[in-house]
Homo-oligomer: A and B are copies of this chain.
Amino acid sequence: MKILIVNPNSDQEMTDLIQKSAKAFAKDEYDVTCFPTPGAPKFIETYEDQVNAASGMIQIIKENEAAYDAFIVACHCDPNLDVIKEISNKPVVGIGEASMKIASMLGHKFSVITTSPHSIPMKEAQIRKYHLEDYLASVRAPSDQLADADEDTKYLETARTAIKEDMAEVIVLGCAGLSGMDKHIQKALNVPVLDGVICALIFAAGFVRYEISTSKACRYNPSLS
């Protein structure tokens, strides 16, 4: 089984980080490769960044449709996920959708930890898109008081606040760039902490093995248009 992870940005460092997390999880059970997106921004922060990643992402999918068994979109805002579900006949999983739907199965409510306050309303809109708004405890970015803390402390303390103040029972890492922080926070806070890349692999590998994929009944079938 071969799974292709599309990193919607063009950053090689983040691509390597994602690939490392993914390989550590996949072990020898299946092949997993992460590609950066040619022509995409270095980081996906705005709606414009998202559409600027689209043509590169589409190109990757079309060139690799035959060679891979499933595709993962590895940015937590799931940019262009509907497009990729539409153009591919293979299973397609977004790390945002994957992590938040798993979160809804592991506890009463979840919080998403993001890198900046700017993404809070965007994340809320995305959560509503997946009908998960009533499972949401909060979306939180590190507070100003944490400005000088190291990265690990920043997100650990933000998660701790979500648990204490918002009664979050599950923590979702709201950015692919936080990949690898999950177990550290999970051990410290004793609640499940979800890295979207791993969550997406669980679905993608499962869908391939189960031979299911996006329905082509109507919404995601371009040939019906």
Point out residues on A near B: beta carbons under 8 Å: 25, 29, 45-48, 50-52, 54-55, 58, 80, 82-83, 85-87, 93, 97-98, 101-102, 104-109, 116-122, 124-125, 128-135, 163, 167-170, 183, 186, 190-194, 198-199, 201-203, 205-207, 209-222, 224-225
Contact = CB atoms under 8 A, between A and B. Distances in A.
Contacts of A50: 83
A101 B207 CA distance: 13
Given A169-B215, A192-B212, A210-B202, A80 B106 contact: no
Contacts of A206: 201-203, 205-206
Contacts of A52: 54-55
Contact of A225 (B118, B130, B217): B118
Given A58-B48, A83-B47, A210-B198, A129 B129 contact: yes
B134 A219 contact: no
A163 B54 CA distance: 31
Contacts of A163: 217
Given A82-B47, A168-B217, A131 B134 contact: yes
Nearest to A130: B104
B48 A51 contact: no
Contacts of A51: 51, 54-55, 58, 80, 83
Contact of A192 (B29, B105, B215): B215
